[in-house]
Structure 1
Amino acid sequence: MRLRARRLSGQILAFQLLILVGTLGLGFVLALVGTQSRLDDQYEERALLVARSVAATPEIARAVARGDDSGVVQRRAEAVRRSTGTTFVVVTDARGIRLAHPDPRRIGQRVSTDPGEALRGGTVLAVETGTLGRSARAKVPLRDDGRIVGAVSVGIHVRALRRELNTLVPVLALYLSGALALGVGASLLLARRLKRQTFGLELDELAGLVQEHEAMLHGIREGVVVVDPAGRLRLVNDQATRLTGLRAQDVGRRVGEVAGGTPLGALLAGESPGTDELLVHGERVVVANRMAVRRDGRDLGAVATLRDRTELDDLVRELDSVRGLSDALRAQAHEFAGRLHTIAGLLALGHPEDARAFIAEISDADVGLRHEIGGRVGEPRVAALLLAKATIAGERGVALELASESALDAELRDPREVLTIVGNLVDNAIDAAAGEPGARVVVGLAVEADALVVWVRDTGPGVARADREAVFSPGWSTKAAEGRGVGLSLVRQLVARRGGDVAVEDTEDGTSGAVFTAWVPGAVRDGAPVPSGSAGGVGPDDAGSA
C-alpha cells in the first residue's frame, strides 16, 4: 500500500526542526569545548600565580638550597596549598627530587612529570597527568641569590574544572532551550505562512500544477497575458506574442511601459470594460477579455485572454456580401413582381398606352440611377453594391442618392474591405432613416492621394453627443434585437487597421440626421486607374454581384 505523502508544511517544519536541533546541538558542544578551554587557561594562570608566590618566598628557596631535612619546605608548601585551594604544591631540588608533596610518602622521590624546562629557567603551563591524577598545572624555577636551586609545581585537579563547568551547563542548556523554543515557534509560523501562500497545495499538487500550467500555456491557441496587482506583466505566452507583439522580455515591466496609450494597454490596466473587446494588431483582429483574479479576499492581479478572429472577420465580410446579394435579389424580385402586376392590371383594364408609359417611366428611372452611379464610381463592385443598396432602401421607403461631388476612378487595394466599410455605413444610415418622413440617404466617395474618404448622410434622428464614441463599440445599438451593434464596430476596426479613423457628426445644415465619415489610408493604389473595361455603366446584373 502506497504511503500518503507528508504535507508540505509538515515536511518544511520537520526539516527546519532537524536543522535547528542539529545547529543548536553543535553550538552546545562547541560552547562546552570553548568554555572548558577557557577554564583550563584560567586555572593554569591561577596555578602560575600560586607557583610564582611560592618561588618568591626566600625561606623556601634557602631551605631547598641547603637540602632541607627539617620539613620547612613541606610545611610552608602545605600551608599555601590549603590557603589557595589548589590540589598540590610540589617543590623539588635541582635533581627533580620532591621536598614537598601533599602525600608525605612521596617526598624524596623523583617527580612523575619532566621538570627539565622549569629547571632550565622556563615556565610551563599544561594539563598533565601525574600521581594525583590529571590537573591543570604550572611549573616555575626556584632561585636562591639568582641561582636555580629547584622548581615549584602547582596544580588544580580537573575535578574542580568539571565542577565549575557543570555549573555553567544548566545556563547554556537554558539558553539553548529558549533558542530552540523560539526556533520552533518561528518554524511553525513560517510553515503556516508558506501553506497560506501556496493555497494549501502539497508538493505533488504544485508539481502537477506547474506541468499543467506549461502544457496549457503552450498548447492552447489563445493568447494569455497575466498582470500582477502592481500592474507588471508576469506572463506572456507564445500566442499572445504573435497576436499583440508583447515579448517574453517584457515580463516584469509595467503595462504602461510596453503598451501605454494603446487599447491593449487600457485593457490590461483595467481601464476598459474588458469584455469581448476588439483590438487590431497589424493585419490581425483580436478579441480580448480581461478577468480580475482574487483569492481569499486578496487581489492577485488579472488574466487577459486573446482570440484571433481575423478569419472570422473575413467570413463575416463574405457573409455580409452574400446577405447584401440576397437582400438585393429579394428586393428586386419584389419590386419586379409589383411592376409586372401593375402592367398586367393596366393591360387587363384596356389601357395599353398607360402600360407603355409606365414601362418607359420605370426604365428611365432605373437607367438614370445606373448611369449616375456608373459614371462617378469606376470600381464596378462598389457601384454594384450601391445599386443593390438603393433597391433595398427603396423597398424600405428610403431614397438613396450619390453625392454630386463623388468620384471613385482609382483601383482599390482590397475591394472586399471597402465593400464592408461602405455597406455597413449605408446599412446603418438606412436603418436610421427608415420610417422618417422624406427619408433619404446620401453617399459620398472621394480619393485623396492613396486614401479613400467615404461619407454617408442620413435624415434619421441623429446620434447624441454623449454616444458618439460608444456608437462604435461592439454590441452598441439603439435596436433591442440580439446580435446587432456589430457593423459600426467592424468599420472602426477595419479603418484602424489601415491607420485611419471614422467619426460621426451633425449634418451641416443643422437638420436632423447624422454624417458618418471614414478616412481609409492606403485603400487606393497611387496613380492606378480602374482597369479598362471595368469602368463605365453598370448593367442590371451588376447589382446582383455585390
Structure 2
Amino acid sequence: MAGRGRTTSAATRVFLVLLGAVVVVGAVVALVLVFEAQRAVRAEAERVTRAVSETIATTDVVGEALTSPDASTRLQPYAERVMAQAGVDFITIMTPDGIRVTHRDPGEIGKHYLGTIPADAQPLTEEFAGTLGPSVRTITPVEADGKVLGWVSVGVTVGSISSALLPRLPFAIVIALAVVAAGFVGALLAGRITKRVTGDLPAGSVRDAVSSYESVRTLGEALRAQTHEHGNRMHTAVALLELGRTDEAIEILTETSRQSQALVDQVTARRDGDPTVGALLLGKAAQARERGVDWSVAIDPGAPRSALSPVDAVSVVGNLIDNALDAAAAGAEPRWVRVELSRVRDDALAIVVSDSGDGIPPEITDRVWEHGFSTKPADATGRGVGLALVRSIVEGAGGSVEIEASPTAFRIVLPRRPA
C-alpha cells in the first residue's frame, strides 16, 4: 500500500457528509413548505374571489342597478363597502360589453375592463395584469331571465398574496431548523461511533486496513487448504510406503508435484508478474480441489504487473476467486472456476474470474457492488464487503470492473504499474 499524507479522518468525513446531507434535506423541506404555503394562499385567494364575485352577481341590488341609468352612482359605494368587508383588492362591476361601472380607482370608471370576458356566461378564475398589477381574479356573470345584465370581477393582487404568505414563513423556517438540528445530532453520533471504530485514521487508511485484512484472510484460507491437501497426500504416501506399495506412493507424490508445477510454470513464465498473486493462485488451486471444483488458470507471459500494491492485488483477486468458488460449489455439475490474466489495450492488465455457478439475477446485478449487500447468509467472516472493496480498490487505481454473463465472469482492467 502506498503511503498517504495526513488527511481528514474517516470519522470527520462521515460527520461532514451526513451534516451536508442534512443541510440539503433541511433546505428542501423549507422550500417544500414555502411552496405549499404559497399554493395554499393562492388557492385561498381563488376561493375568496370566486365566492365574493358569485355572491355579488346574485344580489338583487346589483342586477337592478345595472339596468338603471345611474348604475355607477348606485354601485360604486356598494362595491367599496364590500371590498372593505371582504378583504379583497378590487371589485369591478361592468356592463355586458365590459365597460366599468365601478372600480377601485374612480378615474377608471367608464373605461374597458382589462381581463378576459368569457364567451359563455360562466365564472372564470385567472391571473391577469390589470391597472393594479398582476392579480388573481374571478369574473362572474350577472343574469336575469337568462340574459346577461353585466359582469362582476373580484380580485386579489399578487402583492397581497405575497403579504399573506409572510406570516407563514417562520413556521417553515422553524421546521427546517428542527430537521437540521436533529440531523446534526445524528451526524455527531455517527461521527463518534465511527471514531470508536477507526480512531483518527483517514478514510484511505481505513480502506487499506480492510484490504489488508481481506488479503490476510484469503491468503490464510489458501495456505490452510494447501497445507491440508499436502498433509493428506504425505500421510497417504507414508502409509503406502509402510505397506510396501512403493510405486503407488511415488505416483501420489509425483501427481502432487505435477499439478503444482504446472501452475508454477505459468506463474514464473510471466515476465512482469506479482509473486504474491502467484502464491495466492497456488493456494487457491488446493482450496478448489478441496471443495470439489475444477480449477484452471491461464496466464499470458506478457501480462504486465498492475498498479496495485501486493496487498490490494491479493485482496482484489482473492475476493473474486472466493466468490467464484462459493458460486461454483453451490451449483450443479460440472463445477469449475477459471482465472485468466492477460495483456490488453494500452498495455493494461485484464483479470477475468469466471465460474460455473447459477449466475447473478439481472435485477440485483448493480446491487452486488453495494457495501453490505450479499446473496449469501451472514457469518463471522462478514458478507457484502468483498465486492464493494474490490470496486473501491480498482476504481481508485484508475481501473474498471464489470460483470459478464454466460458464464458468469468478473472482468477487471487495471493500468500497468509505471516503470
Q: Please say if 1:238 is aligned against 2:229.
A: no
User: For residues 449-473 of structure 1, what are the alpha-carbon distances to aligned partners after superposition, in whole Å with 9 as ceiling and x for unaligned?
Assistant: xxxxxxxxxxxxxxxxxxxxxxxxx
1:31-50 correspondence to structure 2 within 5 Å:
31-50=33-52
Give the corresponding residue for 2:196: 196
Contact persistence 2:100–2:111 (CA under 8 A)? yes
Counterpart-to-counterpart distance in 1, 2:85 and 2:217: 86
Q: Please say if 1:134 is aligned against 2:84.
A: no
The CA deviation at 1:244 is: 4.1
Counterpart-to-counterpart distance in 2, 1:194 and 1:164: 47
Counterpart-to-counterpart distance in 2, 1:114 and 1:70: 21
The CA deviation at 1:63 is: 1.6
Give the corresponding residue for 1:187: 187
Aligned-residue CA RMSD in angstroms? 3.1
Give the corresponding residue for 2:104: 102
1:389-468 correspondence to structure 2 within 5 Å:
412-413=244-245
Query: What is the one-letter code of the residue matched to 2:209?
Result: L
Larger Rg: 1
Counterpart-to-counterpart distance in 2, 1:217 and 1:53: 82
- 66, 82, 86: which one pairs with 1:64? 66
Q: Please say if 1:73 is aligned against 2:75.
A: yes
User: For residues 248-294 of structure 1, what are the alpha-carbon distances to aligned partners after superposition, in whole Å with 9 as ceiling and x for unaligned?
Assistant: xxxxxxxxxxxxxxxxxxxxxxxxxxxxxxxx963357xxxxxxxxx
Contact persistence 1:62–1:144 (CA under 8 A)? no
User: For residues 60-105 of structure 1, what are the alpha-carbon distances to aligned partners after superposition, in whole Å with 9 as ceiling and x for unaligned?
Assistant: 1122133434611212211211111111110010110000111111
1:64-463 correspondence to structure 2 within 5 Å:
64-69=66-71, 71-115=73-117, 117=118, 120-217=120-217, 224=220, 237-244=221-228, 282-284=232-234, 412-413=244-245
Distance change in 2, residues 1:209/1:44 (3 Å) = same
Counterpart-to-counterpart distance in 1, 2:167 and 2:77: 33
Counterpart-to-counterpart distance in 1, 2:216 and 2:79: 91
The CA deviation at 1:114 is: 2.4
Q: Which has the higher contact order (CA 8 A, sep 6+)?
A: 2
The CA deviation at 1:162 is: 2.0
Counterpart-to-counterpart distance in 2, 1:70 and 1:126: 25
The CA deviation at 1:207 is: 2.9
User: For residues 304-324 of structure 1, what are the alpha-carbon distances to aligned partners after superposition, in whole Å with 9 as ceiling and x for unaligned?
Assistant: xxxxxx99xx8xx9xxxxxxx
Give the corresponding residue for 2:302: none
Query: What is the one-letter code of the residue matched to 2:114?
Result: S
Query: What is the one-letter code of the residue matched to 2:157?
Result: H
Distance change in 2, residues 1:80/1:244 (3 Å) = same
Counterpart-to-counterpart distance in 1, 2:226 and 2:205: 31
User: For residues 124-164 of structure 1, what are the alpha-carbon distances to aligned partners after superposition, in whole Å with 9 as ceiling and x for unaligned?
Assistant: 11222211122221111111232112110001223332222
Counterpart-to-counterpart distance in 1, 2:129 and 2:190: 52
Q: Report how many aligned residue pairs link the two structures.
A: 244
1:438-517 correspondence to structure 2 within 5 Å:
none
- Higher mean C-alpha deviation, range 78-87 or range 158-167: 158-167
User: For residues 410-459 of structure 1, what are the alpha-carbon distances to aligned partners after superposition, in whole Å with 9 as ceiling and x for unaligned?
Assistant: x6447xx9xxxxxxxxxxxxxxxxxxxxxxxxxxxxxxxxxxxxxxxxxx
Counterpart-to-counterpart distance in 2, 1:3 and 1:162: 54
The CA deviation at 1:211 is: 4.1
- 48, 53, 56: which one pairs with 1:54? 56
Query: What is the one-letter code of the residue matched to 1:121?
Result: A
The CA deviation at 1:184 is: 0.5
Distance change in 2, residues 1:90/1:3 (3 Å) = farther
Query: What is the one-letter code of the residue matched to 2:227?
Result: L
Query: What is the one-letter code of the residue matched to 1:40?
Result: R
Larger helix proportion of the pair: 2
Counterpart-to-counterpart distance in 1, 2:228 and 2:91: 94
Contact persistence 2:66–2:95 (CA under 8 A)? yes
Query: What is the one-letter code of the residue matched to 1:130?
Result: G
* Structure 2, unpaired ranges of 5+: 250-419
Contact persistence 2:138–2:153 (CA under 8 A)? yes
What is the SS of the residue equivalent to 1:99? coil
Query: What is the one-letter code of the residue matched to 1:42?
Result: E
Query: What is the one-letter code of the residue matched to 1:134?
Result: P
Give the corresponding residue for 1:8: 10
Contact persistence 1:65–1:144 (CA under 8 A)? no
Counterpart-to-counterpart distance in 1, 2:204 and 2:105: 74
Counterpart-to-counterpart distance in 1, 2:126 and 2:197: 58
Contact persistence 1:243–1:284 (CA under 8 A)? no
Query: What is the one-letter code of the residue matched to 1:94?
Result: P
The CA deviation at 1:215 is: 4.8
Counterpart-to-counterpart distance in 1, 2:52 and 2:23: 43
**Once the two structures are aligned, what percentage of the paired residues are identical?**
23
Larger strand proportion of the pair: 1
Counterpart-to-counterpart distance in 2, 1:144 and 1:47: 22
What is the SS of the residue equivalent to 1:176? helix
Query: What is the one-letter code of the residue matched to 1:186?
Result: G
Contact persistence 1:64–1:93 (CA under 8 A)? yes
Counterpart-to-counterpart distance in 2, 1:39 and 1:133: 18
* Structure 1, unpaired ranges of 5+: 225-236, 246-279, 286-309, 318-380, 383-410, 418-546
Query: What is the one-letter code of the residue matched to 2:224?
Result: A
Counterpart-to-counterpart distance in 2, 1:164 and 1:284: 91
